C-alpha cells in the first residue's frame, strides 16, 4: 500500500549538480574573496540584481533547511539558545546562528563572510532581526530593503517607487563594496532569463492540475525550488526548467502520476517539517495523497497566476515581485484566496494546514484560516502542528493518527458520495 514514486527523473541529478556548483562558488569566494557574495532571504529575493555584479547569493534559509533534513539542526539550535535565544524564537535563525558559532556548513565546505548582508524585508519581521544579528556577528555591512506590505489588493505607485529607489541604493552600496560597476545589460539579461524560467516553472505547476498529477507540488516542488532561487536569472536555470518541464510533460502524456492510483488531491499550507521530511511524506504516501499545490512553494515567488519579470522594466518588475508576487509579503486574506483558487482550479479534495511553531508569519491565525475553509467554504481541512527546523516538536504518532483520521473520513465521504451517485 505504501508504494510511492517520487519524482526522480534526470532532473534530480541535475538539481544536485547545480546546487553543488553553487556551494563550490561560495567555497571559492571564502578563500579568494571572488565572486562577491550577498546574503539574502528566499522570500521575494532579488537575485537578478546580483547578476549585475556577477555576485552570488547566500541563502541562510537554504543552509538551515539542509541541516534539518540531515537531522543536524538540534546542536546549532542549542548553541544559539545558550547565547540567549528563546525556546520560542524562529529555529531557522537559531540554527543559522548556531552554525556560524560552531563553524558548521551544509556541505562541509567553507562559507564566505558576505560582501553585503541584504535584508530583503518582505513580510517576515524575523528577517530584520536575523540579518541584524548576522551583521553584528559577522561584522559585515547590512542594507535593508524595506518592502511595503500588501495592505491593499495592488501595490500603489508610491510603494513601487519606494522599493525601486532602495534597489538603486543597493546598487550604489554594492558598487562601493565590490569596486565593480553595475552592469545594466547583465541585469536586464538576468531579468529576461528569470521571466523565461518563471514561465516554465508556472507551466510545471499547472501540470499538477492534471489527474494524476505528475509530481507532488509540495514534497517534489521543494527539490525544484533550489534552482529557482539561485539560478532563475541564469541560462543554466532556464535550461534546467526546460528539462524539468519536458520530463514532467512526458509523464503526463504517458498518464503517469506520483502514485499508481492518485487517491487524494490536497493543497498544503505552511512550510514542511524538515527534520522529519521523509516520515511526513510517507504519512501522505500511505494514502496515495498527492499535493497538487502548496503555498510554501510560492515563498520565493508567485508565478502560477501570471506574473513574470519584465526586461523592459527591470527595476520596476523586481520591485513588483518583491512587493506583490510572493506569499510572504501578501496579506493573510490574499493567502486564503490563493488557497481557495488552488482548491478550485487544481481540483483538490482538501486542505492541510501545517502550523509551524517557529514561524508566526505563516502560522499566526491559521486557526482562523481553518475556520474559513472548513466552516465558510465547506472544504475538508486538517490542522496539524510541528516545526520546520526544531526536531523537538514533532509528535510522530499523533501526527500520523490525525492524518490517518483525516483521510479515512475523506474516503468515507467519497464512498458515500459514489453510492449516492
Partner 1 sequence: MAEFERTFDICAGLDFPSVREWKQAHPESKAIAYFPVYAPVELIHAAGMLPVGLSGAGDQLDIQHADARFGSFICSIVKTTLEMGLTGHLEPFDGFLFSTICDSARNLCFVMKRNFPAMYVDFLHLPHNPSSPAAAQFLTEEYRRVLSEFERLGNCKVSDDALRSSIRLYNRSRALIRGLYELRRQNPEKVPTSELYQLVRAGTFLPVEEHITQLERVLAEVASRSPKKRDSIRIVVEGSFCEQPPLPLIRLIEEAGCYVVDDDFVIGQSWFDADLPTDGDPVPALATSYLDHSVYSSVRHDLRKPRWDGLVEKVRRSKADAVLFLIAKFCEPAYFDYVPYKQELERAGIPHLQLEFEEKSFTFDRLRTEIETFVESLVFD
> Residues in the site for ligand SF4, rule: CB under 6 A?
90, 92, 124, 126-127, 328, 358-359, 361-362, 388
Residue from 133, 186, 400, 402 that binds partner 1 (CB under 8 A)?
133
Phi, psi of 380 (to 5 degrees): -55, 130
Span near partner 1 by CB under 8 A; candidates 50-58, 88-96, 247-255, 413-421: 88-96
Q: Which of residues 145-174 bind partner 1 (CB under 8 A)?
A: 145-146, 148-149, 151, 156, 158-159, 161-162, 165-166, 169
Residue from 123, 300, 314, 391 that binds partner 1 (CB under 8 A)?
123
Measured from the CB of residue 78, what is the shortest distance to partner 1 in angstroms?
A: 15
Verify binding: residue 346, partner 1, rule CB under 8 A.
no
Measured from the CB of residue 356, what is the shortest distance to ligand SF4 in angstroms?
A: 7
Q: Which of 350, 347, 408 is nearest to 377 (CA)?
A: 350
Measured from the CB of residue 338, what is the shortest distance to ligand SF4 in angstroms?
A: 16
Verify binding: residue 83, partner 1, rule CB under 8 A.
yes
141 contacts 177 by C-beta, under 8 angstroms: yes
Retrieve residue 235's grid coordinates: 541560462
200 contacts 232 by C-beta, under 8 angstroms: no
Verify binding: residue 395, partner 1, rule CB under 8 A.
no
Residue 156 binds which of partner 1, ligand SF4, none (CB < 5-8 A, kind-dependent): partner 1
Cis before 318? omega within 30: no
Which residues, in sequence order, are CB contacts of 24 under 8 Å at separation 6+?
Answer: 109
**Three-state secondary structure call for residue 189:** helix
CB closer to partner 1, 148 vs 301: 148
CB closer to ligand SF4, 323 vs 379: 323
15 contacts 227 by C-beta, under 8 angstroms: yes
DSSP readout, 348-389? -SEEEEEEETT-HHHHTTHHHHHIIIIIIS---EEEEEE-SS
- Helix axis angle for 10-32 and 219-231, nearest 10°, is 40
Verify binding: residue 139, partner 1, rule CB under 8 A.
no
Q: Which of 407, 391, 403, 392 is nearest to 277 (CA)?
A: 391
Measured from the CB of residue 361, what is the shortest distance to ligand SF4 in angstroms?
A: 4
Residue 92 binds which of partner 1, ligand SF4, none (CB < 5-8 A, kind-dependent): ligand SF4
Verify binding: residue 355, partner 1, rule CB under 8 A.
yes
CB closer to ligand SF4, 317 vs 358: 358
Measured from the CB of residue 329, what is the shortest distance to ligand SF4 in angstroms?
A: 11
Q: What's the rounded Cα separation, in Å, for the pair 115 and 173?
A: 10
Among all chains, which residue has been given the C-alpha cell 482562523?
368
Measured from the CB of residue 331, what is the shortest distance to partner 1 in angstroms?
A: 5
Residue from 230, 361, 382, 410 that binds partner 1 (CB under 8 A)?
361
Provide the terminal-to-terminal Cα distance of the chain, rounded to the nearest Å.
27
291 contacts 176 by C-beta, under 8 angstroms: no
CB closer to ligand SF4, 85 vs 362: 362
CB closer to ligand SF4, 94 vs 188: 94
**Three-state secondary structure call for residue 9:** coil
CB closer to ligand SF4, 55 vs 91: 91
Q: Which residue is nearest to ligand SF4 (CB)?
A: 359
Retrieve residue 404's grid coordinates: 490517518
Q: What's the rounded Cα separation, in Å, for the pair 88 and 81?
A: 10
Residue from 45, 115, 126, 213 that binds partner 1 (CB under 8 A)?
126
Measured from the CB of residue 365, what is the shortest distance to partner 1 in angstroms?
A: 4
Q: What's the rounded Cα separation, in Å, for the pair 224 and 297?
A: 9
CB closer to partner 1, 197 vs 399: 399
108-124 CB burial, b ≥16 within 10 A, e <16: eeebbbbbbbbbbbbbb
Amino acid at each position: 500500500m505504501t508504494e510511492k514514486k517520487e519524482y526522480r527523473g534526470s532532473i534530480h541529478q541535475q538539481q544536485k549538480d547545480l546546487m553543488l556548483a553553487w556551494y563550490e562558488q561560495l567555497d571559492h569566494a571564502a578563500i579568494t574573496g571572488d565572486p562577491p557574495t550577498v546574503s539574502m532571504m528566499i522570500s521575494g529575493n532579488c537575485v537578478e540584481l546580483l547578476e549585475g555584479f556577477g555576485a552570488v547569493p547566500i541563502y541562510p534559509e537554504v543552509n538551515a533547511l539542509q541541516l534539518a533534513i540531515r537531522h543536524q539542526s538540534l546542536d546549532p539550535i542549542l548553541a544559539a539558545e545558550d547565547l540567549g535565544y528563546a525556546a520560542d524564537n524562529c529555529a531557522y535563525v537559531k540554527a543559522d546562528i548556531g552554525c556560524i558559532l560552531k563553524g558548521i556548513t551544509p556541505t562541509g565546505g567553507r562559507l564566505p563572510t558576505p560582501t553585503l548582508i541584504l535584508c530583503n524585508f518582505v513580510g517576515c519581521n524575523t528577517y530584520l532581526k536575523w540579518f541584524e544579528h548576522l551583521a553584528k556577528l559577522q561584522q559585515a555591512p547590512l542594507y535593508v530593503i524595506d518592502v511595503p506590505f500588501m495592505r491593499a489588493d495592488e501595490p500603489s505607485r508610491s510603494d513601487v517607487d519606494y522599493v525601486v529607489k532602495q534597489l538603486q541604493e543597493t546598487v550604489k552600496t554594492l558598487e562601493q563594496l565590490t569596486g565593480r560597476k553595475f552592469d545594466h545589460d547583465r541585469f536586464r539579461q538576468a531579468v529576461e532569463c528569470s521571466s523565461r524560467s518563471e514561465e516554465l516553472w508556472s507551466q510545471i505547476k499547472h501540470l499538477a492540475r492534471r489527474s494524476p498529477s505528475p509530481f507532488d507540488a509540495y514534497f517534489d516542488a521543494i527539490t525544484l525550488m533550489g534552482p529557482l532561487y539561485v539560478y532563475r536569472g541564469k541560462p543554466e536555470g532556464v535550461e534546467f526548467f526546460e528539462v524539468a518541464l519536458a520530463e514532467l510533460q512526458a509523464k503526463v502524456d504517458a498518464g503517469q502520476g506520483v502514485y499508481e492510483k492518485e487517491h487524494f488531491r490536497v493543497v498544503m499550507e505552511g512550510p514542511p517539517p524538515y527534520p522529519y521530511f521523509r516520515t511526513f511524506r510517507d504519512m501522505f504516501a500511505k494514502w496515495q495523497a498527492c499535493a497538487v499545490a502548496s503555498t510554501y512553494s510560492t515563498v520565493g515567488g508567485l508565478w502560477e497566476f501570471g506574473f513574470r519579470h519584465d526586461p523592459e522594466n527591470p527595476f520596476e518588475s523586481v520591485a513588483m515581485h518583491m512587493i506583490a508576487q510572493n506569499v510572504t509579503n501578501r496579506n493573510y486574506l490574499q493567502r486564503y484566496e490563493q488557497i481557495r483558487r488552488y482548491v478550485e482550479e487544481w481540483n483538490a479534495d482538501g486542505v492541510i494546514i501545517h502550523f509551524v511553531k517557529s514561524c508566526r508569519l505563516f502560522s499566526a491565525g491559521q486557526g482562523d484560516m481553518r475556520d474559513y475553509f472548513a466552516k465558510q467554504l465547506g472544504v475538508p481541512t486538517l490542522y496539524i502542528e510541528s516545526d520546520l527546523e526544531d526536531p523537538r516538536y514533532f509528535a510522530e504518532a499523533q501526527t500520523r493518527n490525525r492524518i490517518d483520521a483525516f483521510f479515512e473520513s475523506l474516503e468515507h465521504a467519497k464512498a458515500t458520495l459514489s453510492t449516492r451517485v
